């Protein structure tokens, strides 16, 4: 039996040390054999050897101590990490965690504080309603529902940051976020300032009234192994009608109520306590496109962060614009789609973008390649973009953008031809375009082995 001890609530320990000295000799040999494939002793195992996780998981009874916090007990099942040793020597086996950027591991996120107010339309003089106190979050089911309601919309890759034309500290939301992070005990007071700021910006006739939720979260993951606190600001504008049933003396009574559908947030943002000197890291969601400028620019005043996601998305949009300008002048839409598919294929297969390599592999005609380089340079200069000829490709952004590009040809004979973007070479190889003199019409010829 292994010695039992108590582990502090530290979820981010990266390495755990197995209490090797409590194993019997037979158990030790079995342990080494599972890693090396032969029955060898501890002395033949060198520091830092990597071992498969599954055999270790089956053999270890589950008691160890953590070298990160110098306390004891339990294998870190979430990080799939284990290390074992004798005395001062440590032999480690490690499997990398899959927790990526963004709030990927939402189980770690905790809703700590929540204030709910009502904000009206200033142009209509609807005013505001200020709650007297914070919401009681001791109900576990309510807490769970609210977490899902607030966090589920944030699936996009884009990050934003607060900005201001003259001084970042003059951005109201940046200032309030800094105050809350610095003094969370005054959360309710600062939430009222945010409410009043939103009301002042709600002076357009199309801005709807609604409930304003201001939340404080802990355990929000931005990078692997790191978590930060965050402030969430959400607004529900639309109401749904719900049917409810109530038992009454062996009968059912049917009623209806108006309420907020917790499947989607109308407007929201998450302000992460990271990179404060650069305007924090902010994520946005806005389901109502008619007043998107009001939420993003008037209320929050944020600009998109120029990271790998931004550069990848911008360059793919550049390719789309170029294809429409250049190939729209030709009779064939196939050339336009082929160029887009080749571009997406290049971004999918490469880790980094290089302008010379891209043009040589995607564009066949030298004249078109030079025209594209000139177009790319002008595009970057007009938008003040730097390092646009060589950058790291964001694969998640490529996957998202791929779904937005048109990959079909719509003909005036009520026929549509869809081209696969996964293998553009085959689309080009097995499809031809021509003109039939007898009918006086264009045609497409498609080659295939079988149909399904």
Per-residue HEC secondary structure of 134-149 comes to CCCCCCHHHHHHHHHH
Burial-class residue 42 by CB neighbours within 10 Å (0-12, 13-18, 19+). middle
**pLDDT tens, residue by residue, 78-137:** 333 334 333 322 333 332 333 334 454 667 899 999 999 999 999 999 999 999 999 999
Do the beta carbons of residue 265 and residue 246 sit within 8 Å? no
Region 323-345: mean pLDDT is 76
30 belongs to a structural domain: yes
Residues 186 and 79 in one domain: no
**Backbone torsions φ then ψ of 168, nearest 5 degrees:** -55, -35
Backbone angles phi, psi at 228, to 5 degrees: -140, 165
pLDDT value, residue 90 = 30
Location of structure tokens 């082995």: 449
Whether residues 207 and 343 share a domain: the answer is no
Does the residue 4 lie in any domain? no
Residues written for the chain? 452
Is 270 a member of any domain? yes
Same domain, 251 and 288: yes
Looking at 68, 94, 120, which one is the last position of a domain? 94
Beta bridge partners of 65: 17, 72
Q: Are residues 54 and 120 in the same domain?
A: no
Q: What's the pLDDT score for residue 64?
A: 41
CB 62 within 8 A of CB 55: no
The residue written with tokens 């009206």 in the block is 120
CA distance readout (Å), 61 to 4, 17, 20, 91, 316:
11, 13, 11, 17, 51
In a domain, 194, yes or no: yes
pLDDT for residue 40 is more than 90: no
Q: Name the least confident of 181-195, 197-211, 283-297, 324-338.
A: 324-338
**DSSP single-letter state for residue 46:** P
Asked whether the beta carbons of 41 and 32 are under 8 A apart, the reply is: yes
Query: Into how many domains does the chain fold?
Result: 3
Residue 8 domain-assigned (yes or no): no
Both 333 and 214 in one domain: the answer is no
CA atoms within 13 A on the CB side of 238: 11
Looking at per-residue pLDDT, the higher value among 118 and 432 belongs to 118
Is 293 a domain residue? yes
Scored b (16 or more CB within 10 A) or e, 343-374 reads bbbbbeeeeebebeebbeebbeeeebbebbbe
pLDDT at 396: 86
Do 214 and 271 share a domain, yes or no? yes
The answer to whether position 298 is within a domain reads yes
Residue (of 148, 205, 200, 211) closest to 173 by Cα position: 200
Whole-prediction pTM value?
0.64
Measure CA 129 to chain center: 33
Judgement on whether residues 229 and 355 belong to the same structural domain of the protein: no
Compute CA distances 359 → 316, 387, 402, whole Å: 13, 17, 19
Q: What is the pLDDT of residue 126?
A: 94
Q: Which of 251, 271, 305 is the last residue of a domain?
A: 305
Question: 316 and 267: one domain?
Answer: no
CB atoms closer than 10 angstroms to residue 227 = 21
Q: Residue 47 is encoded by which pair of tokens? A: 């520091």
**DSSP letter, residue 12:** T
- Report pLDDT for 98: 32
Please indicate, yes or no, whether residues 178 and 208 belong to a single structural domain of this protein.
yes
Which residue range(s) make up the domain with 430? 309-446
Beta strand residue intervals within 141-280, DSSP E: 160-162, 210-223, 226-236, 240-247, 252-259, 267-272
Last-in-domain residue among 254, 279, 305: 305
Is residue 146 in some structural domain? yes
252 and 111 in a single domain? The answer is yes
Do 88 and 119 belong to one domain?
Answer: no
Helix/strand/coil for 410 = strand
Both tokens assigned to 136: 């009681």
Say whether both 87 and 191 belong to one domain.
Answer: no
Average pLDDT value for residue range 367-386: 85
């Amino acid at each position: 039996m292994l010695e039992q001890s108590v582990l502090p609530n530290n979820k981010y320990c990266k390495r755990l040390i197995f209490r090797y000295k409590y194993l019997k000799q037979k158990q030790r040999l079995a342990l080494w054999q599972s890693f090396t494939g032969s029955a060898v002793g501890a002395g033949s195992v060198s520091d830092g050897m990597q071992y498969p996780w599954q055999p270790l998981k089956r053999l270890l009874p589950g008691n160890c101590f953590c070298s990160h916090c110098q306390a004891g007990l339990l294998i870190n099942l979430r990080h799939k990490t284990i290390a074992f040793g004798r005395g001062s020597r440590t032999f480690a086996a490690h499997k990398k965690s899959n927790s990526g950027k963004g709030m990927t591991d939402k189980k770690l996120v905790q809703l700590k504080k929540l204030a709910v107010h009502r904000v009206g339309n200033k142009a209509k003089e609807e005013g505001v309603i200020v709650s007297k106190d914070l919401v009681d979050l001791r109900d576990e089911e309510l807490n769970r529902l609210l977490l899902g309601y607030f966090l589920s919309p944030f699936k996009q890759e884009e990050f934003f940051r607060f900005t201001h034309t003259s001084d970042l500290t003059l951005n109201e939301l940046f200032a309030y976020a800094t105050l809350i992070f610095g003094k969370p005990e005054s959360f309710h007071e600062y939430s009222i300032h945010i409410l009043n700021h939103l009301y002042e910006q709600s002076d357009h006739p199309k801005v709807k009234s609604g409930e304003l939720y201001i939340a404080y979260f802990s355990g929000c993951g931005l990078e692997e192994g790191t978590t930060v606190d965050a402030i969430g600001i959400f607004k529900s504008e639309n109401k749904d009608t719900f049917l409810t049933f109530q038992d009454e003396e062996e009968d059912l009574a049917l009623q209806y109520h108006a309420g907020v559908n917790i499947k989607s947030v109308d407007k929201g943002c998450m302000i992460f306590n990271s990179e404060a000197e650069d305007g924090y890291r902010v994520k946005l969601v806005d389901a109502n496109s008619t007043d998107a400028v009001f939420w993003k620019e008037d209320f929050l005043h944020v600009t998109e962060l120029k990271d790998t996601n931004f550069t990848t998305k911008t360059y793919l949009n550049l390719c789309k614009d170029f294809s429409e300008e250049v190939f729209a002048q030709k009779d064939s839409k196939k050339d336009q789609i082929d160029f887009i598919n080749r571009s997406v294929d290049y971004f999918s297969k490469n880790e980094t973008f290089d302008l010379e390599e891209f043009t040589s592999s995607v564009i066949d005609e030298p004249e078109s390649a030079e025209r594209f380089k000139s177009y790319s340079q002008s595009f970057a200069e007009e938008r003040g973009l730097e390092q646009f000829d060589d950058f790291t490709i964001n694969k998640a952004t490529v996957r998202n953008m791929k779904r937005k590009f048109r990959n079909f040809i719509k003909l005036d004979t009520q026929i549509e031809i869809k081209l696969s973007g996964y293998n553009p070479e085959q689309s080009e190889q097995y499809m031809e375009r021509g003109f039939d003199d007898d009918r006086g019409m264009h045609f497409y010829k498609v080659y295939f082995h079988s149909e399904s």
